[in-house]
Amino acid sequence: MEKITLNHFLNISGEVGYNKKKEFEQTIKFIFNQLPSECIHRSLATDIHKEHHYFFLSTWIDERSLSRFIESDEYQLIKGAFDVLGHFDNAVYGAITRFDHLSNWQIISDNKLTDKGIH
């Protein structure tokens, strides 16, 4: 079975208090406008089961563009927005792959980001 790596993803999660929600969302909207074209999908989502829990979800064209983003001021701003306005939970990244011509997709990740970046 042929393995083809298509894109890479980064998901950042954390909690933001109700009284900081507007400021947090405005910060993320600002960052969305700063992201490079190599970021082919971006969204901000909330967890319906955990009040005030947010997810920054993004898809990148390749690992190199994701790595550059993780080293960028924009990434630090997102992480900082969680830290200052609430609580940063974690950041998870990995490859999105296809294993055969029948469109069997799999997201592979057991990777968590630390202050040292991608490992």
State whether the Cα torsion 80-76-25-109 is positive or negative. Answer: negative
Tens of pLDDT along 96-105? 876 555 555 4
Record the tokens describing residue 1, joined without a space.
């079975």
> Mean pLDDT throughout 17-23?
95
Place of tokens 């900081």: 20
Q: Which residue has the tokens 């993803």?
A: 9
This model's pTM is above 0.85 = no
* Residue-wise pLDDT tens digits, 59-82: 999 999 999 999 999 999 999 999
pLDDT per position as a tens digit, 48-60: 999 999 999 999 9
Sorted by where each begins, the domain ranges of the chain are 4-112
**pLDDT score of 97:** 76
By mean pLDDT, which of 43-47, 57-61, 111-115 is the weakest?
111-115
Per-residue pLDDT at 119: 45
Domain 4-112 CATH assignment equals 3.30.70.100: yes
Cβ within 8 Å of residue 53, ≥6 positions away: 13, 14, 15, 46, 47, 89
Which bin fits 39, alpha (ψ -120 to 50), beta or left (φ > 0)? beta
Residue 98 β-bridge partners? 4, 105
Q: What is the pLDDT of residue 109?
A: 56
DSSP state of 53: E
